[in-house]
Structure 1
Amino acid sequence: MSEATSPAEPSRLLRVTLEGAIMSAVSNALAQVLRAYRGGGAYIDPVALVHFIIIAVITTPPNYKWQLALERNFPTNPKRDNKVVDAREKKDDDKRAANEKETLSITNTIAKFVLDQTIGASLNTIWFIVMINLLRGEGLNHIMTTIQKDFFPMLIAGYKFWPIVTILNLVVVPVEHRMLVGGLAGLAWGVYVSLMNI
């Protein structure tokens, strides 16, 4: 059975999606409470809360798959080259490998970082703008105008926050936990985005 279709994959995907939905709900609720505290009004708008949960449920699976694809194509700790060795050399190599820490691939880490902060960030920003406006019942013209108006300000705001989270996530966190760590950092980001959009 291939890695992509391992039995644990659907349950892991379900778990990260549930975590994403919960963290999105919490960040949106926090943003609404902050906004109400600063300017009055109702504390929780259930419609806005549901919109953010729906967006998380839809966007978490492709983002999780994206992280897996980045790691598969650019492993943080690539395995040492396989070479033909006799039994004694292999035993010595195995002992050395057990005693050595895995080596961080700087090239692969940079490649993942650049891809995530360009393609990943751009697609996520556009996807968020499109989805929040579709959920609000807006038409194509309004959505296109909103993308033109909000895309770069949101992307630039993200560049003030996400690069440090991304590099720490890529270097320190195992791939299966990156969505959770990213989601925890996303609580703060979600408050910002919610304040911009609720």
Structure 2
Amino acid sequence: MSSPIVKTTIQSCVLNATSNLIAQFITAYKANAPYTINWVPVFQFVLFNAISNPPNFLWYNRSPFQPSPLVLTASYRQSFLESTFPSNYLVPSASAIHAASENDEKELDREEKTHSILESKLHIQNTLIKFLLDQTIGATLNTLLFSLAFAGFRGEGYADAIATAQEEFWPMVRAGWTLWPFVSLLNFAVVKSVEGRALVGSLSGLLWGIYLSLLKG
């Protein structure tokens, strides 16, 4: 069975190839031109995601102390951000507190056996810290890497690539702030299941990939 990092990278590559194909269709539709697929940008987007997804996965989805992008547990294990700033903490459940106050040992035993003696609470401070790190350090590095990578694909030299990255940085960051802050908060604070977070991240990534493809079209 493939490791989570391989599965996530493959999924990212497929979604970004799809995003670029959709963006090409939108461009052709707006220009009232025939839809002819240009496979060069598709390959470039796939290559960029094959390179960039593993470090993003390690940032979001794994602890640096474990051997080997969207803060997962279970099959994805603990993420760097999640293990450093846990989203949730455990407290005695209301029913367990009530049973303890009544010295109801039978009820306490039942809750312990059914793993309901504790309940999870959102750690607001940690969630805000993760959100800020994601939207500052994470956003900055990913934006710069994207611009530099595609400048390299175009054959630009070092100086031209740096100039391109500087020119594109703030427009891309501002565009990202219209989407990713909401996605981050949703995944950090609301969505609890691995599958749910993966779905939210995938759908958001598809939309973002279309925007980037149109930007580079």
TM class by shorter chain equals 0.7 to 0.9
State the partner residue of 1:148. 166
- Give distance in 2, aligned partners of 1:98 and 1:162: 34
State the partner residue of 2:205. 186
Q: Which has the higher strand share?
A: 2
Structure 1 portions without partners, runs of 5+:
1-7, 82-87
**CA separation of 1:131 and 1:175: change in aligned 2, threshold 3 A:** farther
User: How does the TM-score come out when normalised to structure 2?
Assistant: 0.76
SS in 1 for 2:21: helix
Which structure would you say has the larger RCO, counting Cα contacts within 8 Å and 6 or more residues apart?
1
State the partner residue of 2:215. 196
| Match of residue 110, structure 1, among 125, 128, 137 | 128
> How many residues of Structure 1 are paired with residues of Structure 2 in the alignment?
183
The answer to whether the 8 Å contact 2:91/2:118 transfers is no
The code of the aligned residue for 2:201 comes to G
The answer to whether the 8 Å contact 1:64/1:179 transfers is no
SS in 2 for 1:101: strand
The answer to whether the 8 Å contact 1:36/1:42 transfers is yes
Q: What displacement does 1:66 show?
A: 0.8
1:146-194 Cα distance to aligned partner (Å, 9 max, x none): 1111101100111111111111011233485545532320111111111
Structure 2 portions without partners, runs of 5+:
61-78, 93-104
- Give distance in 2, aligned partners of 1:50 and 1:115: 30
What RMSD, in angstroms, separates the aligned Cα atoms of the two structures? 2.5
Q: Does 1:29 align with 2:9?
A: no
Runs of 4+ in 1 over 6 A off after TM superposition: none
The code of the aligned residue for 1:185 comes to S
State the partner residue of 2:6. 14
Q: What displacement does 1:137 show?
A: 1.6
State the partner residue of 2:99. none
SS in 2 for 1:103: strand
State the partner residue of 1:44. 37
The answer to whether the 8 Å contact 1:31/1:194 transfers is yes
The code of the aligned residue for 1:72 comes to S
Matches within 5 A, 1:105-184: 105-174=123-192, 176-177=194-195, 178=197, 181-184=200-203
Aligned residues with identical type, % of pairs: 38
- Give distance in 2, aligned partners of 1:185 and 1:99: 36
User: How does the TM-score come out when normalised to structure 1?
Assistant: 0.82
The code of the aligned residue for 1:71 comes to E
Larger gyration radius, structure 1 or structure 2? 2
